[in-house]
Amino acid sequence: MLSTQALLSAIGVGEKSATVIGATFQWFLRDLTGMVGGILFTFYQGSSLDSNAKMWRLVADLMNDLGMLMDLVSPLYPSAFVFVVCLGSLSRSFTGVASGATRAALTQHFALQNNAADISAKQTTKLFSVLH
């Protein structure tokens, strides 16, 4: 929530001088960078995510923290705001790819009785109950 608040205030939410088109363009660049970054990351690293699942899970957690940090500090650098938030979006796109792929690999590892769907459902239910 703090990183989203920082981003919204940095793009001018609440300021009379800010324009909707300016904020929309900055948000678009941020999301576009993340999407392209996720595709490129998958293209170059997709085949190594299964064999190094533990390492990539750790990398995903670190990249998520880095992405949130970039969002939090982005208002401190107004001249480089778009660059900083694009780096944060790129970091979080790596997180999404790596965590999703490694979750599947780790679920398969624990599915000793051909019950990957059951394990995945229980993991999702547990995660959902923790978040709410």
Q: What is the DSSP string of the chain?
A: -HHHHHHHHHTTTT-TT--HHHHHHHHHHHHHHHHHHHHHHHHHHGGGTTTTHHHHHHHHHHHHHHHHHHHHHGGG-GGGHHHHHHHHHHHHHHHHHHHHHHHHHHHHHH-TTS-HHHHHHHHHHHHHHHH-
Alpha-carbon separation of residue 26 from 85, 100, 113, 115, 126 (angstroms): 9, 27, 48, 44, 36
- Place 40 in a pLDDT band, splitting at 50, 70 and 90: very high
Say what percent of the chain tops pLDDT 70: 72
Q: How confident is the model at residue 17 (pLDDT cuts 50, 70, 90)?
A: low
Domain limits for position 12: 2-131
Confidence of residue 51 (pLDDT cuts 50, 70, 90): confident
| CA 101/CA 109 separation, integer angstroms | 13
Residue 131's pLDDT band, with cuts at 50, 70 and 90, is: very low
* pLDDT surpassing 70 at residue 62: yes
Q: What is the pTM of this model?
A: 0.68
Number of domains forming the structure of the chain: 1
Query: Is the pLDDT assigned to residue 33 strictly greater than 80?
Result: yes
- Across 1-10, 45-54, 87-96, 111-120, least confident range: 1-10
Q: What is the pLDDT of residue 132?
A: 47
* Percent of the chain scoring above 90 in pLDDT: 13
Statement: residue 54 has pLDDT above 50: yes
Q: Report which residue type is found at 123.
A: Q
Average pLDDT, the chain: 78
